[in-house]
Amino acid sequence: MGFKILRKQELIPGQTSLLVIDAPQIAKKAKPGNFVILRNDEKGERVPLTIADKDPKEGTITIVFLVVGKSTAQLNTLQEGDEILDVCGPLGKATHIDKQGTVVCVGGGTGIAAMHHIAKGHWEAGNHVVAIIGARTEDLLLFRCELDGFCPEVLIATDDGSVGHKGFVTEVLKDRLESDRNVTEVVAVGPVPMMEAVAKTTKPFGVKTTVSLNSIMVDGIGMCGACRCSVGGETKFACVDGPEFDGQEVDFSELKARLWQFKEQEDESMGKFKKECSCHGK
Amino acid sequence: MASKPRKPSDIGPRIPMPEQPAAERVKNFSEVALGFSRDDAIAEAERCLQCKKPLCQKGCPVEIDIKEFILKVAEGDMPAAYEVIKETNSLPAVCGRVCPQESQCEGMCVLGKKNEPVAIGRLERYVADTFMASDACEEITGTHACALERDDLKVACIGGGPASLTVAGYLAAKGIKVTVFEALHEPGGVLIYGIPEFRLPKGIVARELDGLKGLGVDIVTNWVGGKTITIQDLQNEGYDAIFIGVGAGLPRFLNIPGDNLVGVFSANEYLTRVNLGRAYDFPNHDTPTFRADNVVVIGGGNVAMDAARTALRMGSKNVSIVYRRTQDEMPARLEELHHAIEEGVEIKALCGPLSFNAGDEGKLASMTVQKMCLGEPDESGRRSPVCIEGETEELPCDMAIIAVGTRPNPILLEATPDLELNRWGYIEADPETGETSMKNVFAGGDIVTGAATVISAMGAGRKAAQEIARRLL
């Protein structure tokens, strides 16, 4: 009795996929900022993934994931009609959304998908939403169309300059903050160095900055503290107190160190998977 | 069974229980205590004096008719013994293993005054193991699944640990439809993620759960109370009563420098990875756990013992338990402490944590502790530790496991603002009925008392279930 994959779309072949999953109860409750914990099969580990979208009428949630290790590689072998054994959620505190003015939502890599749900929430609340998205090259930019659907402006930065600004999202963000005094909040979701850079960029402007932390999790319901992080000098659990926190208060170097805790075992697990699953190892 | 009354002085010592030798068991996750044979059980049961006014029953939080079940064991009638136990205890194979009997039933046994008390826990375990729950329904009622008598009544339990399972077992036996909503992917609560396989094999828990399912209890997983489903949702869906048994939850850390260093874990995380995630079977199972040679465990309760003994089995070379008081004040069961010491765990008593220190690459390299001595007894009657000025010690370690207790999990509480909390942040519940400030919403176990024992959670579950049955039937 698992959770059926109704639709699968390989956004970046072999690297990033989108799954629409049949999960009516979660779809009914999910809000922007929430995540799920999923487990592929009987021997699987619990993996947290942000809810990128939901459709309560259809009873579905959408997740987008990057293949980084064994569990995500295995997840990417599943096809439409296959089932994921466990999907638990919605978890975490929902994004704090109120009508406030102009909100700039910054997304990097797979984080764009997670950012998309938050941006949509801000738009639904009546805010003017500016999206700034970044990736290495144009083909790796996710959710452009979806964001175009409600963001009056989608600003782009690519490392190679294949589209938009050549360089980092933070440079685009800085320009924007310098020219636009109406920005009331900046939201950033993406790799830790990107979120850290965004917080550094917004600091001189004194604009409220929200980041969504991606710490290691086990249960996702506050039982273990694997996901703990230092925020304003206090220990917080990302799964129950977050995952969103004030970017100026987060200890990013601690977060980075903690993300590498199981590197050795992760490599071992991936090595074993590649060996056993040569059909997908090409 | 001797028919004439006997005196305590006529009774011999306890029948010993076979165990895996320490040197061998430390290399595996199989159960340490191997259990009685039929002859052992009958011989031990014959030690019972069959007191006119048995005190043992008063010591049992779920008030098993101990004298009666032991009589049946002595007569060799195990199904009858099982039926007696099952009248009040939904999980006897679990309780026989993990209850602190020395401070409960066995602590009250009159034989214990001058002799060793009857091994009630071991007998309960023997009966439950020989006559497992999944077959019991058939044996007792003649059908595999006991039919529901009142399918118009439905009760929801939030949380799938011992408190909820007790409520479910009690009410289902009375023909009420019960659904248990568990947040994790496996039900059982602490029995699954906390207590290790070598004390409580998961197969035993699974068979007890099958027994409950045979009674018609529905157990669903991946439902987080307060997130996937709220109390309000359940009331809207027409549940006649709701029981909250979500446990204590959030682990406490030490609030000392280095708390968040790589290598510092809560016991909950360490044990959940190994037990629920089967990290002992990595990489066949995907959940990894940290590997370390030198481990310190901070705390003196059963969780600390479980964590230390698990670390040894995971291949750690030196494991020590750091505790502020002395071994005599440790809240852990004596049996667990002895097992841990036998297996090679070192006890660093009278040491208070000062800091975790980083080495190269910012990972944990050592822990600094403050040497203590015992001062005057505090309010609780325990002698409180006092710092010895200027005396500290640095303990080299590459993993630290913190087992100093928990605080209330906020998820369900924040989603249910009508629920009144006590001054420690746990749910306020009537001590007699378990009812909360919300009508027909009951609570019991660690979410009411803070971290306690499996059997006290089951006792609370039983009280609430009795009240629910009284109101509904």
Which chain B positions have a beta carbon within 8 Å of A264's beta carbon? 291
The residue among A214, A258, A225, A228 whose CA lies nearest residue A72 is A214
Please state, as a whole number, how many other Cβ atoms lie within 10 Å of the Cβ of residue A259. Answer: 16
Chain B residues interacting with chain A (CB cutoff of 8 angstroms) = 183-185, 193, 221-224, 227-229, 249-251, 253, 255, 259-260, 262, 265-266, 268-269, 272-273, 277-278, 282-291, 362, 409-411
Q: What is the helix, strand, coil percentage profile of chain A, to 5?
A: 30, 35, 35
Weakest mean pLDDT among B67-71, B134-138, B263-267: B134-138
Which chain B positions have a beta carbon within 8 Å of A224's beta carbon? 251, 266, 268-269, 272
Please tell me if residue A82 touches chain B, with a CB cutoff of 8 Å. no
Please state, as a whole number, how many other Cβ atoms lie within 10 Å of the Cβ of residue B405. Answer: 15
Strands B150-158, A128-135: parallel, antiparallel or unpaired by DSSP?
unpaired
Residue found under tokens 């204590």: B248
* Out of B253, B278, B285, closest to residue A225 by CB: B253
Please tell me if residue A267 touches chain B, with a CB cutoff of 8 Å. no
Alpha helices in B379-453 (DSSP H): 410-415, 446-449
Helices B133-141/B202-214 angle, 10° precision: 30
- Which position has the higher pLDDT, B132 or B436? B436
What phi, psi does B466 have (nearest 5°)? -60, -40
The residue among B436, B438, B444, B433 whose CA lies nearest residue B468 is B433
Confidence at residue B136, expressed as pLDDT on a 0 to 100 scale: 54
* Out of A40, A46, A265, closest to residue B282 by CB: A265
Instruction: For residues B58-80, give the mean pLDDT.
Output: 93
What stretches of chain A adopt beta strand conformation (E)? 3-12, 16-22, 35-39, 47-55, 60-66, 83-84, 86-91, 102-108, 128-135, 153-158, 165-166, 183-189, 208-212, 228-231, 234-237, 244-246
Which chain B positions have a beta carbon within 8 Å of A269's beta carbon? 282-283, 286, 288
Which chain B positions have a beta carbon within 8 Å of A272's beta carbon? 283
Considering only alpha carbons, which residue of chain A is nearest residue B281? A43
Which chain B positions have a beta carbon within 8 Å of A86's beta carbon? 185, 221-222
Read off the pLDDT of residues A97-116 as tens digits, 9 standing for 90 and up.
999 999 999 999 999 999 99
Please tell me if residue A85 touches chain B, with a CB cutoff of 8 Å. yes
Cα of B405 to nearest chain A Cα, Å: 12
**pTM for the whole thing?**
0.93
Are B98 and B201 a contacting pair, CB within 8 Å?
Answer: no
Which chain B positions have a beta carbon within 8 Å of A268's beta carbon? 283
Q: Do A237 and B221 touch (CB under 8 A)?
A: no
pLDDT confidence tier of residue A282, bands split at 50, 70 and 90? very low
**Any idea what DSSP says for residue B392?**
E
pLDDT confidence tier of residue A281, bands split at 50, 70 and 90? very low
B148: pLDDT strictly greater than 90: no
Residue B134 tokens read as: 């999944």
Q: What is the dihedral of CA B115, B116, B120, B126, to 10 degrees?
A: -130
Please tell me if residue A43 touches chain B, with a CB cutoff of 8 Å. yes
Read off the pLDDT of residues B176-211 as tens digits, 9 standing for 90 and up.
999 999 999 999 999 999 999 999 999 988 988 988
What stretches of B123-275 adopt beta strand conformation (E)? 150-158, 176-181, 218-220, 241-244, 264-266
Cα of B421 to nearest chain A Cα, Å: 19
Please tell me if residue A227 touches chain B, with a CB cutoff of 8 Å. no
Nearest-5° Cα angle at A78, A77 to A83 = 155
The residue among B27, B401, B136 whose CA lies nearest residue A226 is B401
Instruction: For residues A169-180, give the mean pLDDT.
Output: 94
Distance of alpha carbon A18 from alpha carbon B191, whole angstroms: 36
Q: Sheet containing B364-377: give its strands across.
A: B351-358, B364-377, B383-396
Whether the ω angle into residue A243 lies within 30 degrees of 0, i.e. cis, is yes
Query: Most A CBs within 10 Å: which of B227, B259, B404, B447, as the mutation test of the A interface?
Result: B227
**Any idea what DSSP says for residue B19?**
B
Distance from chain centroid for Cα B397 = 29
- Distances in Å between the Cα of B306 and the Cα atoms of B2, B340, B417 are 41, 8, 35
* Out of B183, B222, B266, closest to residue A224 by CB: B266
Which chain A positions have a beta carbon within 8 Å of B283's beta carbon? 265, 268-269, 272
B97: pLDDT strictly greater than 80: yes
Are B276 and B373 a contacting pair, CB within 8 Å?
Answer: no
